[in-house]
Amino acid sequence: MEFCPDCGAMLLPKDGKLECGCGYKKDLASNNEYELSREIKAEENVKMLGEDVDVGPVTNETCPECGHDKAIYKMLQTRSADEAPTRIFTCTKCKHTWRAYD
């Protein structure tokens, strides 16, 4: 339910628009489309972030397993905001994963 920003009366749907007795009109159809496309975009962003498991900035960190000096770097925020985030490295050569604490 929506109310008129001008006079505060309830808006009535008419011909795809919301109308008020005072003459205020709101285009209902185009507004809904806009909201919908925005929601879809947000969902796509979340999906992409979740799938990018192996993609991240590469840093010069030496792998304790194979001695390779390049690893993918990720930050993992711990449950408590007071704690420093855990850094996770994944070796680009052997895929060994390890954590580093500050």
Q: Could you list the residues that contact Zn ion (CB under 5 A)? A: 4, 6-7, 9, 20, 22, 24, 63, 65-66, 68, 91, 93-94, 96
Compute the least distance from the CB of residue 90 to Zn ion, in Å: 9
Compute the least distance from the CB of residue 68 to Zn ion, in Å: 4
- Please say which residue, 22 or 48, places its beta carbon nearer to Zn ion: 22
User: Which residue has 């505060």 as its token pair?
Assistant: 8
Residue 83 annotated among the catalytic residues of the structure:
yes
Cβ burial of 19 (10 Å; 0-12, 13-18, 19+) is middle
Compute the least distance from the CB of residue 65 to Zn ion, in Å: 4
Catalytic residue among 15, 51, 82, 102: 82
- Please say which residue, 4 or 72, places its beta carbon nearer to Zn ion: 4
Residues known to be catalytic: 82-83
